[in-house]
Chain A
Amino acid sequence: MPVFREDVRYVLGTSEARIEGPLRTASLSFDPAAQSQVAKLLDGLRCGGLSLVKLQDLCPDLGEGMFDLLRELDELRLLDESLERPCPNHCSGSQLGHHVARMVRRILDKAGPGDFSRALSSGSASRVQLIGYALEYGWFVSQAPGLIAPAIATAVSAQRRAMLEGFLLAERGHDAFVKKALAAVGIEVTQAWQNRPLPSTLFLAASLSVYAKQHPLSFYAALSLFEKPQPEFIDLFESCCDRQGLPAEFHRPLRAHAELNEREGHGDIGQALLATVSLVGEEEQQLVKRHVGVLAETLLMQEHEIMCTYTEEFDILERSTGN
């Protein structure tokens, strides 16, 4: 849909038109009988928003000559492309954050609580399952700096980069909390970190790392899933640990980590990053929804896998990568 550049003017005579840009000028000679059609064409180009077919309808007598004229005007840099009608479904990054949060709520409400959360609520989570949760959580936390780092490289503004650098620094070394917890139940640090993550834990980490590099918008939106404070979960976890006779030194560092995250306001980092994105088109909105929706389901998958894998027969050495 061609349109004259903003600084292009034209003068229409009876058999000639001069089209003037700041640097170059074009002239068009025509049969005086066609003057009204040429006037319509030039006006059409002044207003823009008309397709080639519609422009041709305005000046049928010019025939193929219209295309020659447009080609010449284009070569002389006198034409621009009309703005497409803006996509009605675009939104801001913040709006997208809210859409995604509502979607996640719908997915989780529909699915109901995860298997591990249910076991915490009913008090039936076993000692091995509680330790298993800490192992998976610890492995994930130990990976965090490597997952966040690519997002620093893909942050295009100084503001976003500063936010992500702060986030990376805040997350660094947090695996120490979980190491302390595991040490209280006799699991050596090296042993714990050599432990192979469950498929779902690997999926969560790999997805964040890949989105940080390939689609930062999805990474920002996904962070809200992980950094949301969950005080009820921690309370239930703690009372299950007490019931199973796990020492306070096991659950205390995990609570300390959760409280640290809450104090540092990590819960807002995803939304704060999204707020720096001014416009998101329809395709990317759908992409983000797909990515974050599937990640929410992956969190539920993780709860299921924790319950199935960490049974009484579980042997930590068997899940070690044994390098």
Chain B
Amino acid sequence: MQQETSHAIRLAGFLREQVDGFAIDLDGRTISIQAENANRGWIGNLLREASHGIETERIIESQPPDLRDAATELIARLLEDHAIVRSEPDPPMSGLAAVLMLEGTIDRLCSTTLERNPFWNACIAAKNRGDVPDRVVIGMVIENWHFLHREAYFDAPVLGYVPNLAVRQSMNAFFSEEYGHDEILLRSLNAVGISRDEMYDSAPLPATMGLCNALAHWSHYDPMFFFLTMGVLEGQGLRSDSFLDACERMSWPHGFIAPLRAHSMLNIKGEHGNLTRKLFVQMPLLAASEVRRLRGKLSSFVEIYDAFYRQVFSHYSSTSRQLRRISNW
């Protein structure tokens, strides 16, 4: 279902002037509109404009204030008679054209936010152990675990995505590959002495929990927008994982890195970064207004994703405790 943002109307038949008003010839049927001299001017203008197609709001606003009610009433009557029809408010776009355009917006937004994020800057610059503080490195895996541990919260609502079978199948295939990835990251955490029980007793950072809940909210109430976020979250357009590369340059032990590498390889092999494109390509048509709406919301998503990495960096750089234990609250 795509939201109708504007009521564009168009005359459904041929307009004729008559002595006492106007007539609209439809298929085998004529609708007469009485218009005495005083009203002939505005009714004629309204019908002529409608024969080319015009937005309801504009046609009503173009009337003098004292005639607007009458104009609204006339349009309603003609709609009821099917003498005018609601026309396409927007030219449609293919799913592929839409996603290519939206990817461009995402890239532009990321270039001023995520790509300047202190966490990623530190990873790119890191050479030796400690260049990215140990707590930040482990903290990143902790928060990632919290995120993946809650993946069902935000993937589940779209597993039953009704409007499009192919999209639904792709989402289900994705989820079945994604399920249990928190367990892979847990092995990394075990390697640095953090147990499952400790993770179960811990709380994610506000930006991590917020990201999970924002995604779950969109997944429930704005699935199209949720689909758009998936590719970014799964590393759309990235050839390598800067965090993982940094861990290797900083010589973190094999037991810590290997599960992270295994997780990254699963995502690359499953082409999860391409998920958004895969979903949108399967949508035959989208209203241009819907694409504009989605584009308008993208900055919110990129901003909260940026906030996630910023908070991981700022919190774990300054804390003396690696874990946020609920039992300590």
**A interface list, Cβ under 8 A from B:** 103, 106-107, 146, 150, 196-197, 199-200, 202-207, 209-211, 213-214, 286, 289-291, 293-295, 297-298, 301, 321-323
Contacts and interface: CB of A to CB of B under 8 A. Distances in A.
A289 B329 contact: yes
A202 B211 CA distance: 9
Interface in B204-240: 204-207, 209-211, 213-214, 216-218, 220-221
Nearest to A298: B206
A213 B210 contact: no
Nearest to A287: B326
Contacts of B201: 286
Contacts, number: 85
Given A203-B304, A293-B203, A214 B153 contact: yes
12 contacts: A107-B329, A196-B303, A199-B207, A202-B304, A210-B216, A213-B220, A286-B326, A289-B326, A297-B205, A301-B311, A321-B296, A322-B296
A203 B296 contact: no
B329 A106 contact: yes
A199 B221 CA distance: 18
Given A197-B300, A200-B206, A321-B297, A207 B326 contact: no
A297 B206 contact: yes
A206 B207 contact: no
Contacts of A293: 203, 326, 329
B299 A321 contact: yes
B300 A202 contact: yes
B206 A301 contact: yes
B129 interface: no
A294 B209 contact: yes
B307 interface: yes
Nearest to A209: B217
Contact of A202 (B203, B204, B214, B220): B214
Contacts of B206: 200, 203, 294-295, 297-298, 301
Contacts of B300: 196-197, 202, 321
A210 B207 contact: no
A200 B326 contact: no
Main secondary structure of the interface of A (DSSP, over half): helix
A322 B218 CA distance: 19
Given A203-B304, A298-B206, A323-B293, A290 B326 contact: yes
Interface of B: 153, 201, 203-207, 209-211, 213-214, 216-218, 220-221, 292-293, 296-297, 299-300, 303-304, 307, 311, 326, 329
Given A107-B329, A197-B300, A286-B326, A207 B153 contact: no
B56 to A, nearest CB: 19
A291 B216 CA distance: 14
A268 B164 CA distance: 44
Nearest to A289: B326
Contacts of A286: 201, 326
Most buried by B among A209, A210, A214: A210
Nearest to B208: A294
List the 7 closest pairs (A to B, CB-CB), nearest first.
A203-B210, A206-B217, A321-B296, A199-B307, A298-B206, A323-B296, A206-B214
Contacts of B299: 196, 321
Given A214-B153, A293-B326, A206 B210 contact: yes
Most buried by A among B204, B211, B213, B299: B213
Contacts of A207: 209-210, 213
A203 B329 CA distance: 21
Contacts of A297: 205-206
Nearest to A196: B300
A14 B204 CA distance: 64
B210 A199 contact: yes
B221 to A, nearest CB: 8
A200 B221 CA distance: 19
A271 B217 CA distance: 25
Nearest to A318: B299
Nearest to A194: B296
